[in-house]
Structures are given as C-alpha cells and as structure tokens.
Homo-oligomer: A and B are copies of this chain.
C-alpha cells in the first residue's frame, strides 16, 4: 500500500514538516522505514497517529500525556490489566475536564445572556466558577 513522504504526511495533517521530525525524535511517531536514499516512508497509520496527537493536544493533553495514551494500545497482552487501570485513570481525568468545561460553559452562557440587552454587566459572577480544586489548607 501507499506510503507517505514526510512532506505529504505533513501536508495531509496540516502540520509543519519539522514538527513531524520533532515528533519522531521525541518518540511520538515511531521511526519509519527509509528508502534507498534515506527518505522516510510513513505508513498510513502515521496519518492517524499524527492527527490524533494534534487533536489531543488541543484538548489540553501534553505530548507526554499523549505518548502515554498512545502507548496504552501497544502494551503486550500480558499487561492487559495494567492498561485497563491506566485507561481508567485517563477516563477520570477526562471526566473532570468535561465537568469543568461544562461549568465554564454555563458561566459564559449566563454572561452572554445578560449581555443581550443594554443592562450593565458590572456584576457578573463569572470568575467564581471553577472553584473546586485546591480550595483550602493543603
């Protein structure tokens, strides 16, 4: 099947070529095979993986975390329960993020609604949202 040069891959996903090399260096993309003149030949999967990475990044995951997410599916079968555990940790993290985003969304919604008419918005308890974590004494 078809393979991608680095330029094709970068263009397909909409990232810089240098970024692809950077990801390869840092282990986010596995080192692809090379042709006789040393050109990288990325498999289809690299597109998927790279796209996943960029999307996950926009969701607030660091490259380290993305590396963890990606590694979950590659662990040998023996470590299956370990994978399950890690997946569940990630799920919990994600649930928390979703919850907080919803809260923030509501606050913005309220702000937006209030702003419809000419009422001044001097007092909008917009900030007071997202108050959960790190509340009091350590």
Contacts and interface: CB of A to CB of B under 8 A. Distances in A.
Interface string A110-123: 01100110111110
A102 B98 contact: yes
Contacts of A100: 55, 58-59
Interface in A106-138: 108-109, 111-112, 115-116, 118-122, 124, 126-134, 138
A39 to B, nearest CB: 23
Q: How many copies does the complex hold?
A: 2
A72 to B, nearest CB: 6
A88 interface: yes
Given A59-B97, A95-B105, A97-B101, A118 B52 contact: no
A14 interface: yes
List the 8 shortest-distance A-B pairs measured between CB atoms, nearest first. A60-B60, A84-B115, A55-B130, A87-B112, A77-B120, A14-B134, A80-B115, A87-B108
